[in-house]
Amino acid sequence: RFLDRNIYNREEFARFDSDVGEYRAVTELGRSIAEYLNKQKEFMEQARAAVDTICRHNYGVVKYL
């Protein structure tokens, strides 16, 4: 599972969850930002691929520690 949390002034306003596959607003501030990011096709492809390029690779390493 890959999470990308967007925080401003110690408050989370938007997050990407690989289980959901898109950015979701956490606060009103994050609504327009989440909508904008979800419309960026190439950016979203990279975010969705992060779970395979970052998380799954490292899962096996951490699993045996």
pLDDT at 61: 54
Element (H, E) at 25: strand 22-25
pLDDT at 25: 98
Q: How far apart are CA 11 and CA 27, in angstroms?
A: 9
CATH 3.40.50.150 fits 3-63, yes or no: no
For every one of its 65 residues, what pLDDT tens digit does the chain have, with 9 covering 90 and above?
A: 888 999 999 999 999 998 999 999 999 999 999 999 999 999 999 998 888 877 666 656 555 55
Cα distances from 34 to residues 3, 8, 9, 39, 61, in angstroms, run 14, 14, 17, 9, 32
pTM: 0.76
